[in-house]
Amino acid sequence: MIMWTGPTFQAYYQNIHRIVGEKLDKEDSDYLLQVDFDEYLSFLVDEAKWAPLLWDESQMTVEPFSTKLQRRDKFHDGQTYQVEVQRFRLRIPISPHSQRADYFNFGPSKRWGAEPEWRFEGDVLIHEVEATEQGVKKGIEEVRFWLGNRNEEIEAGNEQLKDHIRPVWEAKRKRLEERQSSTDALLQKLNIPLHQDPNAKVKPIEIKPRHLRTIIEKPKPTSKAEATLNRSDVISLVDFIEQYTRQFEVAPRTYQKMDEEELRDLLVGMMNANYPGSATGETFSKLGKTDVSLQVDSGHVLICECKFWSGSNAYKEAMDQLFRYLTWRQNYGVLIHFCKLKDMTIAVSEGKRAVTEHSSFTAGTLQEQSETRFTSRHAHPQDANKLVEILHLFVDLSV
């Protein structure tokens, strides 16, 4: 173990104005003057974001092993000898993370002794602990503390990034425009033809997205693209949501205190930072008090409804609310319920019953995907001859 003395994620986000300012100073001025302001702002935010490193304790395994340690003989003038001790090797699956090495270059601002020296085998975290029940408990607590606190600071920092970066970018753009205006005025006053370099190449205005996000290519001015989603994209999105909300279940006391809107905001931030798809330039945004929308230039293409579980009747009402937002071209919807009850089995069972009793339900289409996840198909609210698929997900917040 080593004492953490390096930079923290909290300090990184607190200094983001300086980091972005230095990046802008290195960029070509002509490029910054030509690029679309809002598009480049989104690019800067994406570049500055960090993705949390998620872990799945439910898939953790333990491997007993023995190792030899050096001990000092107190009775023979400091001589050393070897002793064999039993240890446990905890193997905990983690989410793929393209910046994992850099992730550990930053620490949490909170302190708890020395941080363990983590090892990895692919996307599995290896943590060696004492071969005791207390040793295993402490090892899990260390993972939750060191990774969990990093993730909390990342989530909080990502949520504020746009507000912090916008004024820096606005000030830089304003200075460049003022300088260009002053130069243009001087050139007009001099009335001397500008030199044209015959070998100059036009630099294209290009914004490269982070690979952790999906970017929808803008339609050409002469045509209007119709944004759609295929089923595999929607399944991938719900897979990510399910994986992310497993962290809620690991530390339910923290998330149980939050209201629906706060939980929804966490999902919005994480989906914008990590959505593992390949559609083009979409953003997740608020559509209502408890709703999440996947929005592209042509409108909203996917609606997610987030609720606390409060019974089958309320579940039907949540479905009604979801259907009110659907347009004719939307084929999918997502319904997420956070359950504070200790008996999740009852909640999921009652949810399924509410679905099958809903007037729009198409018989025989309810399909289980896991103990807390299923899908169903319904007559579209705007067209009885068109089906819409709803993906249902339950998250356990009981303590």
Give me the domain span that covers residue 388. 231-396
Residue 82 domain flag: no
Domain-embedded: residue 128: no
- pLDDT of 214 higher than 80: no
What is the per-residue pLDDT for 211?
34
Return the percentage of the chain with pLDDT > 90, whole number. Answer: 37
CA 140 from centre of chain: 23
What is the per-residue pLDDT across 46-69, written as a single tens digit (0 to 9) for each?
889 999 999 999 999 999 998 887
pLDDT of residue 90: 94
Mean of per-residue pLDDT scores for the chain: 80
SS3 assignment, position 332: strand
Give the mean model confidence (pLDDT) for residues 264-275: 73
Stretch among 58-62, 180-184, 273-277 having the lowest mean pLDDT: 273-277
Residue 242 domain flag: yes
Q: How many CB atoms lie within 10 A of CB 155?
A: 17
Range in 77-81, 92-96, 157-161, 371-375 the model is least confident about: 77-81
pLDDT at 139 over 90: yes
Q: 26 in a domain, yes or no?
A: no
Tens digit of pLDDT for each residue in 39-48? 889 889 988 9
E strand or H helix at 96, and its extent? Answer: none
Looking at the chain, the whole-number percentage of residues with pLDDT higher than 70 is 79
Q: What is the pLDDT of residue 322?
A: 85
179 vs 32: CA distance, rounded Å: 13
Report CA torsion sign: 160, 51, 290, 263: negative
- Residues near 377 by beta carbon (within 8 Å), at least 6 away in sequence: 361, 362, 365, 387, 388, 389, 390
pLDDT band at 187 (very low <50, low <70, confident <90, very high): low
Identify the pLDDT of residue 221: 42
- Domain membership of residue 278 (yes or no) is yes
Give me the residues paired with residue 383 across strands: 380
Q: What is the pLDDT of residue 36?
A: 85
The residue among 392, 397, 155 whose CA lies nearest residue 266 is: 155
Biggest alpha carbon–alpha carbon distance for the chain? 95
Residue 218: inside a domain: no
352 found inside a domain: yes
CA distances from residue 113 to 4, 145, 150 in whole angstroms, order as listed: 9, 11, 15
Q: For residues 31 and 182, give the distance between their C-alpha atoms in angstroms, rounded to a whole number.
A: 18
Q: Please, how many CA atoms are within 13 Å of residue 89, restricted to the half-sphere of its CB?
A: 13
- Range in 10-24, 28-42, 194-208 the model is least confident about: 194-208
Report if residue 86 sits inside a domain: no
Query: What domain count does the chain have?
Result: 1
> Hey, what's the torsion of the CAs at 173, 15, 272, 103, to 10 degrees?
140
